[in-house]
Structure 1
């Protein structure tokens, strides 16, 4: 299970770094579509960490429920 958590965390870090780089890139590009891409990149930069936190919280809570169910049996 630790291996899964590490892979999940590494994927999150890589995605966040890519989002930060793309946000910076879109901020400096002066094209008609760059403003829309910049807005999408900023939104994803905010939403992705929230989603990752929610997934970790859900996993932690579901794991405690499984442990509790096994103790009752």
Structure 2
């Protein structure tokens, strides 16, 4: 359970950095600011979508608790 919390904190920090960079690029006067702004907006939208799709795929194809078999049950008793 602790690993999920760590990944959630990392995701929040990443999204906050993307939002902050989007604001900085929007106010920047650099000739490349337009391209960096577009890339930042793209990443702000696409990264959460990709993370959500990974979670859904893992739920569907990941290990389930019912898949575990007890080795003691497989051994025939004499």
Aligned equivalents of 1:6 and 1:58: distance in 2? 19
Task: Give structure 1 regions of 4+ aligned residues with deviation exceeding 4 angstroms.
Answer: none
Structure whose alpha-carbon radius of gyration is higher: 2
Unaligned runs of 5+ residues in structure 2 are none
With a CA cutoff of 8 Å and minimum separation of 6, indicate the structure with the bigger relative contact order: 1
TM-score (norm 2): 0.77
Select the structure that is richer in helix. 1
Q: TM-score, normalising length from structure 1?
A: 0.82
CA RMSD of aligned residues (A): 2.0
